[in-house]
Amino acid sequence: MIAMDALWTFALMVGLLTLTPGLDTALVLRTAALGHRRRAWGVVLGIQSGTLAWGVLTSLGVTALLTASHLAYETLRWAGAAYLVWMGGRLLWATWRRSADECPKPTGSGAATTTGKGADDTLLGGWRQGMATNLLNPKMGAFYVAVLPQFIPADASQLAAGVLLAAVHILLAVMWAGALITLAQVLRDRLQRPSARRVLDRITGTVIAAFGLRLALGE
């Protein structure tokens, strides 16, 4: 099986990656700041379901086909970019359309949740959003293809070792997400003020759309 020193090295690598502010952080923080605790945990579970899927697919060699096929990678890249730009654009458009006084209290509806009208504080709604965000990011697959094989011994079960490494990544990410959700809950009253929510939505929308543009324009 995987040596402990290799496991610790991998944990350090993905731990630093997890702590780096990015799309996942923005998505979890905003959802929790709206008071949608269940939905926020749904987003976390969706993102980590995607991480587990990438780990399993990498262990089975499927993601290697993705990185080897220019057409497959480009198709997924553009689909992911379009989804992120759409998600971020809806948030930004909603804040531009209304003034701070007209900003409704967070109910999890419409463009504010980016998951469709009538969506509310549901675990399943958050899971779908987090899963789609993760699986439509081909760079996650490319990262796992580049990193995982370096930590899997030749005589070990590829699938078992890959799942173990993905589980380490997931555990660290869930712990960090728990801290983010707790922080957002503490600041919830301030963040739910109309003016604060508008600023939060604009920041989150900009971050999400920027990641989409970066994905579209990057190699």
Q: What angle do CA 37, 195, 34 make, to 5 degrees?
A: 5
Write out pLDDT tens, residues 128-163. Answer: 999 999 998 888 888 888 888 888 888 888 899 999
In the numeric block, which tokens belong to residue 162? 């890959």
Instruction: Reduce the DSSP state of residue 192 to 3 states and report it.
Output: coil
pTM above 0.85, yes or no: no
Closest CA to 40 of 211, 182, 166, 169: 182
The tokens of 219 are what?
């190699």
Tens digits of per-residue pLDDT, 159-182? 999 999 999 999 999 999 999 999
User: Alpha carbon of 34 to those of 72, 108, 210: distances in Å?
Assistant: 36, 8, 22
For residues 115 and 128, the answer to whether their CB atoms sit within 8 Å is yes
Residue 136, helix vs strand vs coil: coil
Q: How confident is the model at residue 43 (pLDDT cuts 50, 70, 90)?
A: very high
